[in-house]
């Protein structure tokens, strides 16, 4: 744009001429604003080139750029999760997202209704009761005590004892082991529905054959269920 001829400082006297020159410089800089290859905003507003006319840059311009950048990022993320996008405009994306959310809410309501109407919970309770009844011991079933000795070599054995839980029975088993010079190396016991099964790791001292025969007889007499 052609520059206007500036008034000479000597043509007008005093400070009034200087003020006119400054005003003309300001108007000229505003008319040439952005003409040197500066950036252009999304609204078509020309921005000053870097390092020039920074004093006239809007304070809200950076904030507006950040807001639009966040908005664009959120729109892209929304398009990634919404299965059906009819158009690529922001308004269409938001409308499609709302429709998708409503569809999901309706599906949730339908599933909740189906679960409320289905008799699955009643069947589960019935099955649980049947399972408990099948595993619960009855008065008509009686288990005899069992004693099993498995040699491991070097005077060591695994001893498995199964018995009906009764007061003082476990103490009698331990007394029988110690009275026959049997050392208990390890012990694990499992109890269930009034019965117990113990696993001993033992070491026998002295004559093994005689001790094992006597020990088996003693333990069998202790844990055997008495006949009615």
Strands of the sheet with 182-192, listed across from one edge:
146-153, 156-164, 195-204, 182-192
For residues 21 and 76, the model is more confident at 76
Q: Pick from 118, 74, 67: which is nearest to 93 by CA? A: 74
Give the up-direction half-sphere exposure of residue 78: CA atoms within 13 A in the CB hemisphere.
22
pLDDT at 18: 53
Q: Is the pLDDT of residue 27 over 70?
A: no
Provide the 3-class DSSP secondary structure of residue 116.
helix
Q: Is the pLDDT of residue 101 over 80?
A: yes
Q: Are 92 and 84 in contact (CB under 8 A)?
A: no
Task: Supply the DSSP symbol for 162.
Answer: E
How many Å apart are CA 219 and CA 173, to the nearest integer? 6
Domains of the chain with CATH codes: 14-63 (no CATH), 146-223 (3.30.70.260)
Q: Are 188 and 168 in contact (CB under 8 A)?
A: no
Which residues have C-beta within 8 Å of that of residue 18, sequence separation ≥ 6? 9
Tens of pLDDT, residue by residue over 71-97, are: 888 878 877 777 777 877 888 888 888
User: Structure pTM?
Assistant: 0.36
pLDDT at 125: 52
How many Å apart are CA 16 and CA 8, to the nearest integer? 12
User: How far is the CA of 52 from the CAs of 26, 27, 48, 49, 224, in angstroms?
Assistant: 13, 15, 6, 6, 105
Which residues have C-beta within 8 Å of that of residue 105, sequence separation ≥ 6? none
């Amino acid at each position: 744009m052609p520059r206007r001829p500036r008034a000479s400082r000597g043509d007008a006297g005093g400070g009034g001429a200087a003020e006119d020159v400054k005003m003309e410089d300001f108007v000229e800089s505003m008319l040439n604003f952005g003409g040197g290859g500066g950036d252009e905003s999304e609204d078509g507003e020309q921005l000053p080139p870097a390092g020039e006319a920074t004093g006239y840059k809007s304070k809200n311009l950076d904030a507006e750029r950040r807001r639009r950048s966040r908005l664009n990022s959120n729109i892209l993320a929304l398009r990634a999760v919404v299965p059906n996008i009819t158009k690529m405009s922001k308004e269409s994306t938001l409308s499609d997202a709302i429709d998708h959310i409503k569809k999901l809410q309706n599906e949730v309501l339908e599933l909740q209704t189906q679960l409320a109407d289905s008799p699955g919970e009643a069947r589960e309770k019935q099955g649980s009761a049947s399972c408990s009844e099948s595993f619960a011991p009855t008065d008509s079933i009686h288990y005899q005590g069992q004693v099993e000795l498995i040699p491991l070599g070097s005077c060591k054995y695994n001893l498995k004892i199964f018995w009906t839980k009764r007061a003082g029975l476990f103490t009698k088993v331990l007394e029988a082991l110690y009275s026959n010079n049997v050392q208990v190396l390890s012990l694990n016991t499992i109890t269930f529905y009034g019965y117990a099964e113990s696993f001993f790791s033992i070491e026998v001292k002295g004559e093994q054959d005689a001790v094992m025969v006597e020990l088996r007889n003693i333990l069998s007499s202790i844990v055997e269920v008495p006949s009615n």
